[in-house]
């Protein structure tokens, strides 16, 4: 793994895999959805 969030980073192994068709787009979009949900929870934690 490349150790980034795989969302905004340009040099991302996940994005590269997505471009090469190694990862399904639906899977990546699902990851973003989960990430956003977690981020939202973190922001409302305190
Ligand atoms: Zn990444």
Rounded to the nearest angstrom, the distance between the alpha carbon of 15 and the centre of ligand 1 is: 7
User: Structural domain tally of the chain?
Assistant: 1
Q: Are 32 and 7 in contact (CB under 8 A)?
A: yes
Rounded to the nearest angstrom, the distance between the alpha carbon of 32 and the centre of ligand 1 is: 12
Q: Which pTM was predicted?
A: 0.73
Q: Tens digit of pLDDT for each residue in 19-37?
A: 999 999 999 999 999 999 9
pLDDT category of residue 46 using cuts at 50, 70 and 90: low
Rounded to the nearest angstrom, the distance between the alpha carbon of 45 and the centre of ligand 1 is: 25
Q: Are 15 and 9 in contact (CB under 8 A)?
A: yes
Does residue 15 carry a pLDDT above 60? yes
The whole-angstrom separation of Cα 19 and Cα 25 is 9
**DSSP per-residue letters across 6-38:** SSS-SS-HHHHHHHTTSS-HHHHHHHHHHHHHH
């Amino acid at each position: 793994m490349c150790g980034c969030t795989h969302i905004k980073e340009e040099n991302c192994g996940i994005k590269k895999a997505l471009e090469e068709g190694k990862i399904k787009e639906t899977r990546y979009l699902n990851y973003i959805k989960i990430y956003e949900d977690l981020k939202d929870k973190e922001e409302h934690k305190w």
